[in-house]
Amino acid sequence: SQQGEEDPQALSIQEGENATMNCSYKTSINNLQWYRQNSGRGLVHLILIRSNEREKHSGRLRVTLDTSKKSSSLLITASRAADTASYFCATKTDSWGKLQFGAGTQVVVTP
C-alpha cells in the first residue's frame, strides 16, 4: 500500500507560472522528501523536511508540512520548461531509511 498520495496527478502550466502539488500520507513520519524524475531517468532529491519543521525553502522551491493533517505541499515558483518532470513525495517512517513513495504528479511547463 502507498503511504503517500499526490494531488493532482497531472498539471499543465505556462512558463513563469507557479506550480503547486500536494501530498497526503497515512502514518506518522520522521521526515518527508520530494524527488523529481525526468522522463526515462532516475529520481533526484529536491528537498527534505523534518517532522518538526513546518516550512522549508530551497531556491524556487517551497515545501510545507502539516503533521496534524498528514499533508505536505511543494510549490515551484516562476516555472521553467526545464521543470517539466514527475514529482514524487516520499515519507520516511523508520530508522532504516526506507522511503514510501506516492504515485507522483506529472508537471508539464510549456514555453
Chain residues that interact with other proteins, rule: CB under 8 A: 2, 4, 30-31, 33, 35, 40-45, 48, 50, 88, 90, 92, 95-104
Interstrand relation of 71-76 and 61-66 (parallel, antiparallel or unpaired): antiparallel
The set of cell numbers assigned to 51 is: 517532522
Of 6 and 83, CB closest to other proteins: 6
Residues 104 and 43 sit within 8 Å (Cβ to Cβ): no
Of 16 and 98, CB closest to other proteins: 98
Of 18 and 41, CB closest to other proteins: 41
8 phi and psi angles, rounded to 5 deg: -80, 175
- Minimal distance, residue 48 CB to other proteins, in Å: 6
- Minimal distance, residue 97 CB to other proteins, in Å: 4
Q: What angle do CA 11, 12, 18 make, to 5 degrees?
A: 85
- Minimal distance, residue 28 CB to other proteins, in Å: 14
Residue 104, helix vs strand vs coil: coil
